Amino acid sequence: MLLHARGPVILDSVSPSHPFFGCDLRELPDHILAEAAGLAILPELNRLAARVGVRSGVASEAPELVSSIQQRVDRIVFQYGRIVTLTDSPDLRVEARYELLESVTLAFVHMAGAFDALAIIHGIGSGLTQYQSMGWQKREFRKAIRPASPSVTALFDPGTDGSLYLNAMLAIRNTIHNFMPQATAASRWGEGSAYRAPTLLLEKQHHRTVFGALERAGWTDYSGIDLLGDTYLNLRPATLVLLLLNGGIPLLNSASTATVSDIPDQWSPSNEGFCPRQMQAYGAKYFGLHHLAKESAH
């Protein structure tokens, strides 16, 4: 459930010329609050945007690539909000279930795209030119960029948390493309058949790679990612996308920090942008993602 504050939350931390000065943050539409929340949970990307351009060979493309990462994260947050809203609704019509599946699909596609963009930044910085050969899951790519980017490359080496997360995320993304899950409804354990919640159902016969990847990443340890016997995997959409965010956002922040750790820090956050820090903090709380916000960055 998305929760607004009980009383008014007036934006008063910016100058009167700001377009949202004096507004009640509870009245802002979800797509704006999603953009604010995206900035709150991914502060290191601003540092990357401000500093990575000084590296030779990436100045021309880096700003657009970094911007695409932020935009994709903003859209994941927005889709997560849609999923939570749809899950809380008693509407279990086919149309609602399909919308849930589409929102989950978009969330995974955008997260994969965010990591691809980060890989391309490092690839072109190391002199690579073929975008299709760039990706953290590719051994030859990691080998090629390791001399120039050892710290960030190490985050995705086999057996690391980054590698396990990437494999789980890509397994879901690829499965949705190849063998679409069933958008259905199921009773919650212990609540009887009177309560039915929307869910995505994967059959192990067609999704063995997904089963293994989620188990190795630890996602099947959580309620909402439920193995049903040895045959089915029952996925709660909101739980699935929350795990996507919980694993992906810290990894993107860590990768951004590792990317620029050898460049003097000339960056400090501004409170006068379109989404000032007060709005960012409220957006993160509204979407229930304040645990991902790095308070030290604000």
Quickly list DSSP for the chain. Answer: -----SS--B--SS-TTSTTTT-BGGGS-HHHHHHHHHHHH-HHHHHHHHHGGGSTTTTTTHHHHHHHHHHHHHHHHHHHHHHHHHHHSS---HHHHHHHHHHHHHHHHHHHHHHHHHHHHHHHHTT---GGG--TT-HHHHHHHTTT-HHHHHTTSTTSHHHHHHHHHHHHHHHHHHSPPEEEEEEPTTS-TT-EEEEEEEETTT-HHHHHHHHHHTGGGSTTEEEETTTEEEE-HHHHHHHHHHHHHHHHHHHHHHHTTTS-------SSSSS-HHHHHHHHHHTT-GGGS-GGG-
Q: What is the mean pLDDT of residues 113-137?
A: 91
User: pLDDT for 94-119, tens place per residue?
Assistant: 788 888 999 999 999 999 999 999 99
Q: Does 204 fall in a domain?
A: yes
| Angle (nearest 5°) at CA 11 between 10 and 17 | 130
* pLDDT tens sequence across 19-28: 999 999 999 9
Contact 201, 232 (CB under 8 A): yes
Q: Which domain holds residue 31?
A: 25-262+278-297
What does the pLDDT read at residue 271? 62
272 within a domain of the structure (yes/no): no
Domain presence at residue 178: yes
The region of weakest confidence among 122-126, 216-220, 236-240, 243-247 is 122-126
Q: Please report whether residue 11 resides in a domain.
A: no
Q: How far apart are CA 291 and CA 295, in angstroms?
A: 9
Distance between terminal CA atoms of the chain? 26
Does residue 20 sit within a domain?
no
Q: What six digits make up the tokens of 194?
A: 């009177």
More confident residue, 167 or 203: 167
Please give the tally of structural domains in the chain: 1
- Does residue 106 lie within any of the structural domains? yes
Looking at the domain assignment, is residue 251 inside a domain? yes
pLDDT confidence band for 91 (50 / 70 / 90): low
pLDDT at 60: 65
Would residue 112 count as lying in a domain? yes
In this predicted structure, what is the pLDDT of residue 272?
63
Asked if the model's pLDDT at residue 6 lies above 70, the reply is yes
Cβ partners under 8 Å of residue 44, min gap 6: 252, 253, 254, 256, 257, 294, 297
Mean pLDDT along residues 46-74 = 75
Q: Strand order of the sheet with strand 225-228? A: 182-187, 196-203, 232-235, 225-228
